[in-house]
Amino acid sequence: MNVDINAVKNTIESGKAVLGVEFGSTRIKAVLIDENNNPVASGNHDWENQYVDNIWTYSLEAIWAGLQDAYAKLLAAVQEKYGVTIKKLGAIGFSAMMHGYMAFNEAGELLVPFRTWRNTITEQSAGILSEAFNFNIPQRWSIAHLYQAILNNEAHIGDIRFITTLAGYIHWQLTGKKVIGIGDASGIFPIDSTVNRYDAGMIAKFDELVADRNFAWKLSDILPEILLAGDNAGVLTEEGARLLDLSGNLEAGAPICPPEGDAGTGMVATNSVAKRTGNISAGTSIFAMIVLEKALSQRYEEIDMVTTPDGAPVAMVHCNNCTSDLNAWVKVFEQFARVTGSDVSRPAIFDAFYYEALKGDPDCGGLLSYGYFSGEHITGFEEGRPLFVRSTNSNFSFSNLARAILFSALGALKIGLDILLKKENVQIDSILGHGGLYKTKDAGQMITAAAINAPVSVMETAGEGGAWGIAVLASYMINKADGESLGDYLGSKVFAGNKGSKIDPDPAAVEGFNAFIETYKAGLPIERAAVDSLK
């Protein structure tokens, strides 16, 4: 991207630049965008969660030190690139990893250390709530954490006056507003997308479950207020400006958009908020998010229901394993190349896997692979064992080996998505792929298109990540035309002219993947035996 230095300098000096900050699990990133939604500067702070008293957590001190450091580094980048200091911003947005549990008392004090999405300590409550609501409640959701604390008779539960997410907490401290974007809210408690509010029937059922506790609060009293993309969620207070910018140069008063979760900002960053669209993020793990036209007919343990930042229902299929096994095979072939005196590069070996996979038999010649480095809830595994299996009459070739490994990377996801595509008849017009699986031109797209039987696109720029996504949401809040939807704004103002490649599914490849996945499902007892036998 060619940046007009003087134009950017003028945007910053006139207070029209927009700031987005996202708290990821390993990095806090601050991104500044111009009036055309182009990123012009950024600052990063690396951090790690801590395992304290059997809880994965981040301290409040780490949260604020990280935010202040990321913003200070952004300021330094702006000074170096453009020779100016940020004194005023056009708008701000904050985003963070979804779910988890932050509970506060009347005085605004944190009652117990922040419990992140990573904690798997709510199996009992998640099961009870899923049955009571007839709605899948994952362990990482805030309501599962709250109810588990109640079941555990934790001392703090009677003092609760407010619970929120990390993004909601940051926003509250900088604006004084106890609000939440609907996408982030959908990881706190189930949403009724017909009215864009917490599901009233489920709220009532929860209150019934805890009625005998005689709390001084009802659930609706302690949840943050839901706002939609485009809503004004408050302004940066004087105290908030001092918390964010230790240099003291930043003025108060900038409007701030509803705080969002990383799933929502990812949808924005990949232009995947319209109905019948979705995105697949494929790297070490893999997940797909499909924007639905209507709610599903029933609950499925394999499917998480969340929403877009403007409230549309989204079905999410998340799998723990994707490219780790491919990486391991490439490493072995790289070692073989070195032993034989070849200087073939690792990228060339990756390309060989991808492109030779396209030449294999449609069903992988009867070869079977499970890339389970960790457990996989979609197929019912609490642990994993990477596994490769063939029969004596399989067509054992490099092309089929490569194809089986790549098909397996999408195996669990395919099973989850088939619930949507075949049981629920969900229609998909387009899917955007991003992540390591799509680095080799066309190949990852072709394989994914075969798995889901839908067109798969990859943009020339895979987006700037969630910090850019929340900055775009802040920009949408102040720049949208009357009645302009988020989808229209993204299409016309953000992604217009962003060239990409689209690949349609090949019918023979679709048929082959369907045959492979039947073998994959039939062979799951082999994986179970491996888990049980190899300790």
Picking from 206, 192, 521, the residue whose alpha carbon sits closest to that of residue 376 is 521
If you count DSSP H runs as helices and E runs as strands, how many of each does the chain have, helices first? 19, 22
- Cα–Cα distance between 140 and 118 in angstroms, integer? 7
The model's confidence at residue 464, banded by pLDDT at 50, 70 and 90, is low
Residue 459's pLDDT is 79
Cα–Cα dist 152/173, whole Å = 29
CA–CA separation, 360 and 513 (whole Å): 12
On whether residue 361 sits in a domain, the answer given is yes
Share of the chain above pLDDT 70, in %: 99
Helix, strand or coil, per DSSP, at residue 267: helix
Cα 36–Cα 292–Cα 262 angle in degrees, nearest 5: 50
121 occurs within a structural domain: no
Confidence category of residue 436, pLDDT binned at 50, 70, 90: confident
- 156-199 tens-digit pLDDT: 999 999 999 999 999 999 999 999 999 999 999 999 999 999 99
Q: Tokens 């998340």 identify what position?
A: 318
d(CA 228, CA 181) in angstroms, rounded, equals: 6
CB atoms within 10 A of CB 504: 12
pLDDT value at residue 2: 66
Which residues pair with residue 20 across a beta bridge?
Answer: 31, 93
Q: Work out the pLDDT band at 328, boundaries 50, 70, 90.
A: very high
How many domains are contained in the chain? 1
Please state the rounded mean pLDDT for residues 478-489: 96
Mean pLDDT over 408-425 rounds to 95
| CA–CA separation, 293 and 123 (whole Å) | 30
Q: What is the 3-state secondary structure (H, E, C) of 396-461?
A: CCHHHHHHHHHHHHCHHHHHHHHHHHHHCCCCCCEEEEECHHHCCCCHHHHHHHHHHCCCEEEECC
Nearest alpha carbon to residue 417 among 292, 298, 289:
289
Does the residue 179 lie in any domain? no
Q: What is the pLDDT of residue 283?
A: 83
Q: How many CB atoms lie within 10 A of CB 102?
A: 23
pLDDT of 332 over the 50 cut: yes
Residue 484 belongs to a domain: no
Instruction: Using the predicted structure, report yes or no on whether residue 116 has a pLDDT greater than 60.
Output: yes
Tell me the average pLDDT across 216-235: 98
User: How far apart (Å, rounded) are the C-alpha atoms in residues 491 and 271?
Assistant: 7
pLDDT of residue 85: 97
What digits encode the pLDDT tens for the residues 487-500? 999 999 999 877 67
The whole-number average pLDDT for the span 288-316 is 93
Is there a domain that residue 311 lies in? no
What 3-state class would DSSP assign to 127? helix
Average pLDDT over residues 84-91: 98
Q: 360 lies in which domain range? A: 324-408+508-533
- Are residues 217 and 230 in contact, defined by beta-carbon separation less than 8 angstroms? no
pTM over 0.75: yes
CA pair distance 199, 190, nearest whole angstrom: 6
Specify the higher pLDDT residue, 224 or 118.
Answer: 224
Helix (H), strand (E) at residue 30? strand 27-33
Residue for token pair 């596994």:
387
> Could you tell me the pLDDT band of residue 374, with boundaries at 50, 70 and 90?
confident
Query: How remote is the C-alpha of 247 from its chain's centroid?
Result: 32
Q: Helix or strand or coil: residue 339?
A: helix
Angle, helices 443-452/398-409, rounded to nearest 10 degrees: 60
What gap in Å lies between CA 400 and CA 406, rounded to an integer? 10
Whether residue 185 contacts residue 219, with contact meaning beta carbons closer than 8 Å, is answered with no
Q: Checking DSSP bridges between strand 456-459 and strand 430-434, what pairing results, if any?
A: parallel
What angle, 0 to 180 degrees and rounded to 10, lies between the N-to-C axes of helices 443-452 and 507-522?
70
Q: Is 260 a domain residue?
A: no
pLDDT (0 to 100) of residue 118: 85
Is 379 contained in some domain? Answer: yes
Which whole-number Å values give the CA distances from 372 to 271, 461, 513, 519, in the listed order? 30, 30, 19, 16
The mean of the pLDDT values for the chain is 94
Q: Is residue 203 part of a domain?
A: no
Under DSSP, the state recorded for 255 is: B
Report pLDDT for 463: 46
- The rounded distance, in Å, linking the Cα atoms of 97 and 194 is 25
